[in-house]
């Protein structure tokens, strides 16, 4: 049986008691997604001073610039949650050596209009899982390129790249391989430390 992540969804997320609120989402809409499984593992492996909310990109329409001054409700909700979060966690597949259209579409919506780019100054961490031998590494580098224009602050290490995902994630959608769990734990620790540092000493 799959873990229910709905309990992790809060009403918009605010830092409480010095904790770090992380908004996580997957670049896959698939119910049995390996990348959604990485997010569920992240929820289990969080440092104790962090909270993870998970947002599903289902329902975000194709980007249309005609609508950017009157955003669809689902996009407004997404932007509100990004703004409320201290940090972002993205788990994405690689499609045709790049990021899935669903993910790029969501990124584009939340970056608009330019004076209201919700990503600006957000610390961010990436994970990827793939059925293949590269584990989504090429998608991670394309995503990092987007972060430059979006003015986000990614952490570099560890690179959580999960190759041959069916060997490490079971049919219940649980990450079973201990080394992968350890990488996710380290990634989250680094994201929380980086986010705390940026809160104390903003870059601009
Ligand atoms: C893929 N897949 C894939 N894998 C990879 O390592 N490199 C790639 O370039 C691609 N390209 C690709 C394109 C498309 C359109 C699909 C549907 C799939 C395979 C991919 O790793 C696999 O389907 C994963 O299971 C997708 O992730 P989720 O949905 O399980 O999170």
Residue 145 CA to ligand 1 centre (angstroms): 20
Is-contact 2 172, C-beta < 8 A?
Answer: yes
Give the three-class secondary structure for 23: strand
Residue 173 CA to ligand 1 centre (angstroms): 16
Residue 201 CA to ligand 1 centre (angstroms): 38
Distance, CA of 48 to chain centre: 19
Q: Which atom of ligand 1 is nearest to the CA of 36?
A: 31
Is-contact 111 121, C-beta < 8 A?
Answer: no
- Reading the chain (204 residues) residue by residue, the pLDDT tens digits are 333 333 343 334 444 456 999 999 999 999 999 999 999 999 999 999 999 999 999 999 999 999 998 999 999 999 999 999 999 999 999 999 999 999 999 999 999 999 999 999 999 999 999 999 999 999 999 999 999 999 999 999 999 999 999 999 999 999 999 999 999 999 999 999 999 999 998 876
Ligand 1 site residues, Cβ closer than 6 angstroms: 28, 30, 33-35, 93-97, 129-132, 134, 136
Ligand 1 atom 17: residue of nearest CA: 95
d(CA 175, CA 199): 31
CA distances from 122 to 8, 16, 130, 145 (A): 21, 18, 26, 15
User: Mutate which of 130, 133, 137 to test ligand 1's pocket (most atoms within 8 Å of Cβ)?
Assistant: 130
Task: Give the residues across from 95 on adjacent strands.
Answer: 98
Is-contact 86 195, C-beta < 8 A?
Answer: yes
Query: H or E stretch including 162?
Result: strand 160-162
Ligand 1 atom 20: residue of nearest CA: 130
Please provide residue 45's backbone torsions phi and psi, each rounded to the nearest 5 degrees: -110, 10
Ligand 1 atom 26: residue of nearest CA: 93
């Amino acid at each position: 049986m799959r873990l229910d992540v709905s309990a992790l969804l809060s009403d918009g997320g605010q830092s409480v008691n010095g904790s770090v609120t992380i908004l996580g989402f997957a670049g896959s809409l698939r119910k049995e997604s390996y990348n959604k499984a990485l997010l569920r593992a992240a929820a289990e492996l969080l440092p104790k001073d962090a909270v993870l909310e998970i947002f599903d990109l289902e329902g975000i329409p194709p980007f249309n610039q005609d609508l950017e001054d009157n955003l669809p409700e689902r996009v407004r909700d997404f932007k509100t949650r990004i703004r409320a979060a201290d940090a972002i966690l993205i788990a994405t597949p690689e499609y045709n050596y790049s990021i899935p259209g669903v993910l790029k579409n969501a990124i584009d919506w939340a970056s608009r209009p330019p004076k209201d780019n919700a990503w600006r100054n957000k610390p961010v961490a990436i994970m990827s899982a793939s059925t293949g031998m590269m584990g989504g590494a090429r998608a991670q580098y394309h995503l990092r390129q987007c972060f430059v224009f979006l003015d986000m602050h990614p952490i570099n290490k560890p690179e959580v790249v999960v190759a041959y995902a069916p060997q490490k994630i079971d049919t219940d959608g649980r990450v079973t391989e201990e080394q992968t769990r350890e990488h996710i734990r380290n990634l989250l620790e680094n994201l929380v430390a980086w986010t705390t540092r940026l809160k104390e000493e903003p870059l601009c």
